[in-house]
Structure 1
Amino acid sequence: MATDYFAGMKRPSIADGLDSPSSPNNPLAIRSNPLSTKLSSVLSASYADSDIRDALGLLDKRGIQNSAETRRQLRLDVQKEIIDSNGEIIREFGHVADQLKRIGATIAALNQGCEEMKRHISAAHQETAPVLEEASELLKQKEHVETKEQLLNAFKAHFILSEEDVSILTSTAEPVNDHFFAVLTRAKKIQNDCEILLGTENQRLGLEIMEQTSKNVNSAFQKLYRWIQREFKALNLENPQISSSIRRALRVLAERPSLFQSCLDFFAEAREQVLSDSFYTALTGTSANGDEDSSAKPIELVAHDPLRYVGDMLAWIHSATVSEREALEALFISDGDELAKGIQAGRENEPWNHMADEQDSSSNFDGLKALNDLTDRDVAGVARVLRQRIGQVIQSHEETIMAYKIANLLNFYRLTFSKLLGDDSILLDSLTTLEESALRQFRALMRDNVASLQGEAQTAPIDLGPPDFLQEGLKQLTAIMKTYETSFTAAESREADFESTLVESFDPYMKAAQGMVEAIQPPESAIFKINCLLAAISSLAPYKFTNQRVAKLQSFVAEHSKVLTEHQYSYFRSKSGLEPLLAALGPLTNSPEDIATISASEACKPEVLTQASQTLDDFLPSALMDAMENLKLLQSSKLIREITEEAAEKFCDDFEQVEEKLLAADESVEQNEGPAGSTQPLRALFPRTSGEIRVLLS
């Protein structure tokens, strides 16, 4: 705790201040002004001042007691301590001054050494300046050389193939793998980039690089071409997983259309030989080398059945063609766009091929057409064997229906192969030729049959039915139409296409039957014709592709039916006894003059008219049955009834006219002679009415 140095002192109060010496009311104020001032200064001092507080803290640390002696000695002690401190400081500064002198001497020595070094450095700089300039120039030249070296390395890396890469491209000992294709791609890129070098001033470099690179690229394509040929020899198209490397090689080789086409030609020849050998094995059960194949049943075992034999051969070829096409599609068409791009690029690289393509309107690569052409070439050898075998079958069999069935079978497969291979193919041409040959054989056989019929004396059957040869011809025609119905001919052209068959297999028989009519008298001739026509219609009607011919035959039936209707009508007129009346009254009109002459006519005499009435009464009960009996040989009861009813209707119409004129004649006589006339009415002699006639003939 701080010592209270003013403990014995009395602090002035406000009351004391009133009588203090400094008071203006005090007469001693003026004389005691310094003391008053001091006192006021002391009293006005703030004990909270930091200096005073520090001073008091120092006094407290010294442990000084507040006494009069201490207060008197305090100033002296403080001043003494200050003097001692200042002396100590002066001594210390003396040491510092000595050190500074030594430092100054050291600095002077250093300055002298620096000056000496500056002189040596200046001299050395003057001596090394040319060397430094030369070194700087050399460094610049080095940097320039390094830049050129980098450019050269970059140029070599981009435009120059290494010996290893050249060996990969050209050496047959190196495999054709991904590395080969990568190097080939780089070489082709170098070829394209050489065009940039040709645009610079130094074209010699570009020409040399392009020449060397082109030589390497051509060697690479030759290597690739030979590799593909070797792969094709061992290629198994039945394997669904065909090597992707072959597909990639073909895409790349397409950039050389001449090599690509040559490769396809080689492939087609190889596949043609393979398929021909397979077809020979399927036919005989023995391979071309003489090895027997017990796994398959030889097709030639069914050679005794021509239709099955031909069908089995065509089915085998269809199956082989479909399999071949699917395999080739996986090999070529799966990357058709890439092949098209490669061939287009190759045409640009081979201007002679490009000029040839310009003369060909179909210069653009069509993957589907190329596939069809290649497949057709593969089966060309099989097509030749097929053409020979089926040709032998056609020529060695003389059955008319068999020839037509073979032609229809060939037509079916021709349409099938046209959808599979297109319209322009060797196989399709072979099938077309074979179909035409079968149809020629069919027509020849038909003409021979008709000629043999014409050479024999033919007479109409007693029942006036269709002759045997016509019935046999219609049976053949039915078999032909059943066969044709199963064909794949377009619906809109079926009838037109079958018309030629009708001309060969139907018209000759109808003409032969027509020739037999000359020896028959009517109405039997009309009955015979209608019977033949009805038999033909019955055979043709079930098939839609004969509608026009059936309609034509029905029109012929209608014409001949008119002849029979006229015959029945004549029968009704003659057997009913009305022929004299109809002959006499028919020319007369309804004029009064003509009506007046009826009563006096020969046909209307009482005895004649009475006889006609009696004849009519005798005829009417069985008239309809007797008339139908006249047509009993007609092989259509419906047609007999229709013809007879039509003739009876015409007879009833005539009877109405006779009745009307007889009534008119009676009225005329009654008007002239009166009701009491002596002449007997005509209606009394001929009492039948038209209503009765219609009832009896219905």
Structure 2
Amino acid sequence: MSASYFSERPTPVSQDGFTPASPALGTPSRGANALSSRITSVLSASYADLEIRDALETLDARGVRNVAETRRQLRLDVQREVIQCNGGIVKDFGAIAEQLTRIGTAITSLNQYCAEMRSHIAAATRETAPVLEEATGLINQRKQVETKQQILSAFNSHFLISDEESTILTSTAEPVDEEFFQTLTRAKKIHHDCQVLLGTEDQRLGLEVLEKSSKQINAAYQKLYRWIQREFKTLDLENPQINASIRRSLRVLAERPALFQNCLDFFAEARENILSDAFYAALTGSTSETQNLATKPIEFHAHDPLRYVGDMLAWAHSATVSEREALEVLFISDGDEIKRSIQAGLESEPWLRTEGDEEVFDGKKALNQLVSRDLTGVARLLRQRTEQVIQSHDDATLAYKIANLIGFYKNTFVKLLGADSEVLELFSTLEGSAMRQFRANMRDYVAAAQSDLAVAPTDLSPPDFLEEALQMLEALAKSYDTSIATVDSQEDGFQSVLAETLDPFLGGCENLYKGLQAPNSDVFAINCLLAAKAVLSPYSFASDRIIEMGDTIGEHAAKLIEYQHQYFTRTSGLNNLLEALSVITDSSESLKTIPELDTFKPEALIAASQQLDEFLPSALIDAAENLKRLRNRKMVQDITEEAAGRFCEDFEFVESKILAADNLLYNDEPEEEEPAPGLRDLFPRTSGEIRVLLS
């Protein structure tokens, strides 16, 4: 745009015909300098300047052409436009001034109106101030009344029980249900929260509420106590719903330990009567209302004393298990809650606590005690019937079986009711009575048996009184083994039985043993001990006595071995040689004297050799014949073999002495002389031959 503007500019021509660039003739040099400075300023101007650019853009927007007329009128046009713009501005400011004048007038009017309103408001305020003050006071009083009404409502709802709730809590006509327990819980909470009221300055209200709530709570516990007593009279232990209500009632009543204990006493008495009637019905087949039962009565088997006593004990055990399982729900499942309730009751009534009570409530112990008390009537009747059975029979075996049966059930009841149960005293008494009867019967039997003692049987077998005693002992051992319950006391418990049933008869056998000659005495003793050992061997609780018998049998067997050994040496003729060699030592001088002994002279030694040869073929058979009345054939063989072995050792000793003597004699004789016959030639049997013949 600027290029076209400068390109279209014609060279201006002045009015006098000269161009501006060419100085007029005769013009001083100052004009030339001015023109030069003008040109210099124009050329030095920066066309990048924003003002020049804006000016050029304005000229371009106006469509100004670079002609002489336009250049002459440009300033005028610009000034005219500036004047026109200033006129428009003045005109606009005139309109604004007019508007401001009207606004000022309006403001003045508004100020007047505001002043009037303030005066009216001040007058109204002066007139209404007393009314507002009175209204404010009334509003504050209303708020205070509402606050007091809320406090009163909250107090009534929290600290007072309505008449309907009081009726539910104290009236016996109302049932003991969920609503009763909720109301009782609320009453106890009111009683507990009265501590807040007692902490205020005016304690009268707290004392009144506390007294009223205490009376209501006590009446509620009395109602609950009487209700539980009524329920206990007809309590069906098999009904889970009744059990649930009774459990909850007992848990709540436990907060009054005295009432709770009275309930337990009443319940124990009621259950004692019920179980006693049930036991009597099981015994006789009819109840107190003369109603016959479908099952056969226990007395139907009274002719069998053991079964009769066993049925009674089994019924008592079954009743105890059923009673415990039924009552376990009452005390074990809620035992911790009952314990906490009793603890709370003792804290509220500390005078009920006795000295030394560390355990407030033990559910398991209370259950065992209650079951024991329930069985008191049954135990009394059981004791009467059992003692009648024990005292009416003089059979020692029967008395002991009854004692074992009672002991078995005693251990069973210990597991059921604990070692401190009162019922166990019954079993201890009955067991002691049966054992006393057993000992008395056994003493009578022993006295009768001892009067019949005469001599041992000719076949040296156990006498009849021992056989009968062992039969009785076997029956007693079986009874003890099947009825005993504790392993630790088995052996100690059976020692008294052995002392009564075995020792007196073994003592009688010992008296017969003393009247026999060897080896019959030892054979008889072993036969008796083997018979007793055979009876006791199957039972581990008689292990000590079996070991003791085995040692005694070993002593008698040792005597028989010695007897057989003497028989071998005496019958074979070796005994004379052994007696002669008993003074010979191992020295050469002593050994050289053997041929000089009477028993080792040729005639005597030949006779001894012949006697030995005659003995050996039937030695074992002849020796076994001595023990033929010993009932244990293996023991006969073992004793004979042991004696034969010792005989072989004796023969080896004699042989060694003979050989040693011969060696010394051969060494002393001259070589050119013919040796005389030695001891070995006269006694040719070797120890190897002897062992073969006696094996």
User: Is this contact kept in 2: 1:383–1:426, CA < 8 A?
Assistant: no
Q: Deviations over 1:312-369 (max 9, x none)?
A: 1111112211111122122333322221221111111111123x1x4224x2321121
Letter in 1 for 2:506: M
Q: What do the CA deviations read for 1:107-145 (whole angstroms, capped 9, x no partner)?
A: 9xx9999999889857xx54x654543443233223212
What is aligned with 1:519?
515
State the partner residue of 1:284.
Answer: 284
- Separation in 2, partners of 1:290, 1:381: 20
- The residue matched to 1:608 in structure 2 has which SS? helix
Q: TM-score, normalised by structure 2?
A: 0.81
Confirm or deny that 1:215 pairs with 2:215. Answer: yes
Q: Counterpart amino acid of 2:150? A: Q
Q: Show CA shifts across 1:391-420 (max 9, x none).
A: 111111222222222122212211221111
CA contact (8 A) 1:240 1:327 kept: no
Give the corresponding residue for 2:357.
Answer: 360
Is the CA contact (8 Å cut-off) linking 1:540 and 1:546 kept in structure 2? Answer: yes
TM-score (normalizing by structure 1): 0.80
Structure 1 stretches lacking a partner, 5+ long: 1-22, 26-35, 45-106
- Equivalence for 2:431: 435
8 A Cα contact 1:596 1:668, kept in partner: yes
Say if 2:272 and 2:374, in contact at 8 Å, map to a contact too.
yes
Q: 1:647 to 1:191 in 2, by over 3 A?
A: same
Residue 626 of structure 1 aligns with which residue? 622
Query: Distance between the aligned counterparts of 1:668 and 1:338, measured in 2?
Result: 105
Match of 2:238 in 1: 238
Residue 625 of structure 1: how far off its partner (Å): 0.7
Partners of 2:582 and 2:393 lie apart in 1 by 67
Paired residues for 1:92-491 under 5 Å: 121=124, 126=127, 129-130=129-130, 132-293=132-293, 295-354=294-353, 356=354, 358-361=355-358, 363-491=359-487
Aligned amino acid, residue 518 of structure 2: P
The 3-state SS of whatever aligns with 2:333 is helix
Q: Which amino acid aligns with 1:567?
A: Y
Query: Is 1:683 matched with 2:680?
Result: yes
1:696 aligns with: 693
The 1:111–1:535 alpha-carbon spacing in structure 2 relative to 1, beyond 3 Å, is closer
Q: Give the match for residue 657 of structure 2.
A: 661
Q: Give the letter aligned to residue 248 of structure 1.
A: R
Q: In 2, distance between residues paired with 1:113 and 1:643?
A: 155
Residues 111 and 474 (structure 1), Cα distance of their counterparts in 2 relative to 1, 3 Å cut = closer
Q: Percent identity?
A: 57
Figure out how many residues of one structure are paired with residues of the other and give that number.
607
Q: Contact 2:342/2:360 (CA < 8 Å) preserved in 1?
A: no
**What is the match of residue 547 of structure 1?**
543
- Residues 666, 675 of structure 2: 8 Å contact kept: no
Gaps of at least 5 residues in structure 2 are 1-12, 16-68, 78-109
Closer, same or farther in 2 for the Cα pair 1:581/1:333, shift >3 Å? closer
Greater Cα shift, 223-232 or 391-400: 391-400
- Cα distance, 1:118–1:573 mapped onto 2, change above 3 Å: closer
1:450-478 CA-partner distances (Å, limit 9, x unpaired): 22222333311101111111111111111
CA distance in 2, matches of 1:494, 1:423: 19
Instruction: Work out whether residues 251 and 338 of structure 1, in 8 Å CA contact, stay in contact via their aligned partners in 2.
Output: yes
Aligned partner letter, 1:559: E
Whichever residue aligns with residue 398 of structure 2, its letter is M
Distance 1:185 1:197 in 2: 19
Closer, same or farther: CA 610–341 of 1 in aligned 2, 3 Å: same
Counterpart-to-counterpart distance in 2, 1:111 and 1:604: 177
- Distance in 2 of aligned mates of 1:114 and 1:541: 132
Structural RMSD (CA): 3.3
Pairwise CA distance, 1:661: 2.2
Structure 1 209/657 Cα, relative in aligned 2: closer, same or farther at 3 Å? same
1:477 alignment partner, SS class: helix
Give the conservation status (yes or no) of the 8 Å contact 2:197–2:206. yes
CA distance in 2, matches of 1:317, 1:353: 36
Separation in 1, partners of 2:242, 2:634: 72
Q: Distance in 2 between matches of 1:497 and 1:531?
A: 27
SS of the residue corresponding to residue 334 of structure 2 reads helix
Per the TM alignment, residue 504 of structure 1 is displaced from its structure 2 partner at its CA by 2.2
Greater mean alpha carbon deviation, residues 447-456 or residues 515-524? 447-456
- CA distance in 2: counterparts of 1:115 and 1:672, whole angstroms: 178
1:569 aligns with 2:558: no
Q: CA deviation at 1:438?
A: 1.7
Cα pair 1:527 1:633 within 8 Å, conserved = yes
